Amino acid sequence: MACHLAGRDAPARKRSKCVFACEINEKARVTYKNNFQHIEPNLFKNENFAYDITKVDPHSIEDFELLCAGFPCQPFSQAGKKLGFRDIRGTMFSYIRDVIAIKAPAAIFLENVKFIKNHDSGETFKTIKNVLENELHYNMRYFDVRASDHGLPQHRPRVFMIGFRDHGVKFEAPEKRKLEMNMSNVFGAQVDREIGLTLRVGGKKSPISDRRNWDGYIVDGIERRLTSKEAKIMQGFPNDFEFPVSESEAMRQLGNSVAVNAVQDYVSNIFSALSNNR
């Protein structure tokens, strides 16, 4: 996602607009358009909502100030084969690099799984840092982030990579929030744990005692499985956010999503840092 920033005194949601987004999964595109077309109608015109980033000419993207992006986590995840940049999906980072190099946004915000820091004995993360800092010349900071530190009842450890083209920008990580709810609140009944397991895509309905279990809970003494209703709450989505897809696809999209509160907290501080530097 690429966006403009506007007046520093306006609420964050009103002082920015998205000018470009890219999503290759057809069903995820349906969800994205369903929820955002009424907010940013121009985003869905003139190929601003791109399908395949490998086919996008960065020069064609409208100028913007903040780039928010992730690249497929499967090559680096503990649940995947850990092939890193030997997996073709790992090369999606190179297309993000090209957009940054050509458009030179004021700030960048990248996200990935925590395991990326240790992949290939640290060589993968070293390569990423070298590109961002020494090739693209951004002043970078790296943060280990948990959704549970931002009010949500889910650990979901991730790495946030935040950088500024102007090395004089002062950025501080947001303060941690107390839990806004626990898993009993999520289910509306007594659950055997306060903070939930990290939402995933594969391994659904593993035995509750199995280490691969992530969707099974003991609720009022009975085994229950997460549905998209509970998963949406755990990820911090607003009540009016809709998934106009099947239940299994909604769970897949939620498992692939970011924790909304965590991203909001960091983006708000990026806005403030850029505004204070003007």
Q: In this structure, are strands 49-50 and 107-113 parallel, antiparallel, or unpaired? A: unpaired
**Tokens 């996602």 sit on residue:** 1
Burial grade of 60 (CB within 10 A; 0-12, 13-18, 19 or more): exposed
User: Would you call 98 helix, strand, or coil by DSSP?
Assistant: helix
At 228, list the tokens. 């998209």
**Residue 176: Cβ within 10 Å count:** 12
Which of 3, 22, 68, 73 is flagged as catalytic? Answer: 73
Is 22 an annotated catalytic residue? no
User: Taking each helix axis from N to C terminus, what angle separates 247-256 and 228-235, rounded to the nearest 10 degrees?
Assistant: 20
Distances (CA, A) of 112 to 21, 49, 80, 161, 219: 18, 22, 13, 8, 31
d(CA 81, CA 103): 33
**Tokens 């303060």 sit on residue:** 175
- Catalytic positions are 73
